[in-house]
Amino acid sequence: MQKILVLTTGGTIASHKTENGLAPGMADDVLLSYFDVPAEVQLSAESVMNKDSTNMQPEDWVTLADRIRNDQDDYDAFIITHGTDTMGYTAAGLSYLLNGIDCPVVLTGSQVPLGMDETDAVRNLNDALTFAIKTPLNGVYVVFNGVVIAGTRAIKTKTKSYDAFESVNFPYIAQVQDGELFNLFEPDPNDKVMPSELKLDTNVFVLKAFPGLQPEIIDYLGEHIDGLIIESFGNGGLPFENRNLVPGIARLTDAGIPVIITTQILQEGQDIYLYEVGQQVAQAGGISVGDMNTEAVVAKLMWVLAQTKNMDTIKVMMQKPIAHDLDFV
């Protein structure tokens, strides 16, 4: 008998109409009734929180991770129902907090609430259950619209369509259809890479580069944060002529504040050494994270900073593949 625990957090999947718009509020037993549970499976549910995922915070990732850790020996898998807007962040956060876990943790949700016409929730719930029961893989995954995505690679790319999530810069793990699991790609084992306390340093900032960005903002941010993530142009480039951003990066690095360089471009990652505009950034101390997506970079930096403030260790950990989050730097 396989034992699966469903942890509910709210989100669209559990929402109903109110005078102020859709808001979560479905009882766990009602949500549980939409699963088609095989005889050999014992399925139970517990409400951990009841939020629109816009209101989800890193502290909620810790709450979920703690709940899973505490009951890991009692269940064969966990399913988390979650709103779609920040599901990618939560999936990434749990991938680090639970790195090395020896069971599957599956996040799912829906674009249309349960109980409404044309809902995609029933399919997603049962696809998540199919994957949880049948996969030999451990670690954190997102199951949505019939596809399985590594937790550090799931990005929401659509606001209304059922195929809301894509696996960016990484193969889809599997497809699920009518209760059958079709494996597409077998990732490397989700080995534990470092002991992890269940804590995060949320004092980070994401700065999107744009033409006209004033360099002074970097020094201002350096007075208030523990880590900076810059979404660069293209392959990691930032301006170094008029409105030169490079000296500010060097000053933050010298002050022991890591500056992580990712790219605004969704596909194919970055090669920070390809152009002079990227090499200048790297020479100033910017830490390239290759083909990672912003959701994973944010969660990983929060996690790493909570473990250490040593700049050399931060660089090593940010550039070390964890839970399938990057292939190259």
Q: Which string of DSSP letters, residue by residue, matches 228-260?
A: EEEEEBTTTB---STT--HHHHHHHHHTT--EE
Catalytic residue, candidates 8, 9, 12, 135? 12
pLDDT score, position 253 = 98
Q: Give 50-82 pLDDT, tens digit per residue.
A: 999 999 999 999 999 999 999 999 999 999 999
Mean pLDDT of all residues belonging to the chain: 95
Rounded to an integer, what is the distance from CA 181 to the centroid of its chain? 23
pLDDT in the model for residue 195? 59
Identify the pLDDT of residue 17.
Answer: 76
Predicted confidence at residue 165, as pLDDT, reads 98
- Which tens digits make up the pLDDT trace of 116-150? 889 999 999 999 999 999 999 999 999 999 999 99
**pLDDT reported for residue 196:** 65
Question: Residue 26's pLDDT is what?
Answer: 76
CA 9, 13, 17, 19 dihedral sign is positive
CA dihedral 310, 314, 317, 320 (to 10 degrees): -130
The more confidently predicted of residues 20 and 112 is 112
Please check the confidence at residue 311 and state whether its pLDDT lies above 80. Answer: yes
State residue 194's pLDDT score. 64
Higher pLDDT, residue 17 or 160:
160
Residue 16 pLDDT? 75
Q: CB neighbours of 256 closer than 8 A, spacing ≥ 6?
A: 309, 311
DSSP 3-state of 47: strand
Mean pLDDT of 195-202: 85
pLDDT tens digits, one per residue of 284-305: 999 999 999 999 999 999 999 9
DSSP 149-201: EETTTEEE--SSSS--EEE-SS---EEEETTEEEE---PPP----S---S---
State phi, psi for 146 to the nearest 5 degrees.
85, 5
* E-state strands within the chain: 2-10, 15-16, 23-24, 41-51, 77-81, 104-108, 139-144, 147-150, 154-156, 165-167, 174-177, 180-183, 204-208, 227-232, 259-263, 287-288
Active site residue 12: yes
How far does Cα 29 stand from its chain's mean position? 27
Kindly indicate the confidence band of residue 115, based on its pLDDT and cuts at 50, 70 and 90: confident
Burial class of residue 152 (count of CB atoms within 10 Å of its CB; 0-12, 13-18, 19+)? buried
Q: Starting at the earlier edge strand, list the strands of the sheet with 204-208.
A: 204-208, 227-232, 259-263, 287-288
Tell me what pLDDT residue 15 has: 77
Would you state the structure tokens that stand for residue 148, as one six-digit string? 């399985």
pLDDT of residue 34: 93
- Beta partners for 5? 44, 78
Q: What's the average model confidence in pLDDT over 38-46?
A: 96
What distance, in Å, lies between the first and last C-alpha atoms of the chain?
43
- List domains and CATH numbers for the chain: 2-183 (3.40.50.1170), 204-318 (3.40.50.40)
Residue among 150, 15, 179, 138 nearest 84 (CA): 15
